[in-house]
Amino acid sequence: MQLNFEELYNLYYMKVYSYILTLSKNPNDAEEITQRAFFKAMTAKGQYSGKSSEFTWLCAIAKNLFLDTMRANKRRGETGEEMASSFNIENALANEDMAFRVHQVVHNLEEPYKEVFQLRVFGELSFDKIGKLFTKTENWARVTYHRARLKIQERVES
């Protein structure tokens, strides 16, 4: 990859998000899929061959994740408007027992994931403000929050 991950994220996040938003018609789902796409791109950047533009590669990843999500929802009998993942942290917090389990996992989460997650979910701070608290960028806060969500999801499901 010619650019480092943060440069890719800064350059293409809104474009990929907008593309997925046109497919999903749901801002929350579009944000989640876009975050997952950038995470997947970051962890698989050795697979980028350079045959297409970086933007095209990122959109292909995001589109595949969107289609995978739609297929999973169809198997579960959900419509496109109910495109929540099988485990949704916000929904889990509404269930008392599951909320306790999520809080246990968050309590044991390593930093900075723990604090970023808590500031976003419980403190309801914007990514911009979280980034400023850590003297980092808004994009750093987004990526860190997404990684925290993935860690929590994995640990709660196991």
Residue at a domain's end among 31, 48, 82: 82
SS3 label, residue 125: coil
* Residues 6 or more apart whose Cβ sits within 8 Å of residue 2: 54
**Would you write out the chain's pLDDT as a tens digit for each of its 158 residues?**
445 777 888 888 888 888 888 888 877 888 889 988 888 887 776 666 667 788 888 888 889 888 888 887 676 654 444 444 444 555 555 556 767 777 788 888 899 888 888 888 777 788 888 989 899 988 888 889 888 888 888 887 77
Say if CB 59 and CB 99 are below 8 A apart. no
Tokens, residue 121: 């979910």
Residues 119, 143, single domain; the answer is: yes
Eight-state DSSP code of residue 46: G
- Report yes or no: 3 and 43 within 8 Å, Cβ to Cβ: no
The pTM is what? 0.49
Q: What CATH number corresponds to the domain at position 111?
A: 1.10.10.10
pLDDT of residue 88: 56
Which pLDDT belongs to residue 85?
Answer: 44
- Final residue belonging to a domain, choices 82, 107, 124: 82
- Pinpoint the alpha helices (H) of 25-137: 27-43, 54-75, 89-94, 96-107, 113-121, 127-133
Q: Are residues 127 and 146 in the same domain?
A: yes
pLDDT, position 46: 61
Closest by alpha carbon to 89, among 157, 153, 154?
A: 153
**Domain shared by 12 and 78, yes or no:** yes
Instruction: Please give the pLDDT value at position 135.
Output: 92
| Residue 116 structural domain | 89-157
Q: Do 17 and 69 belong to one domain?
A: yes
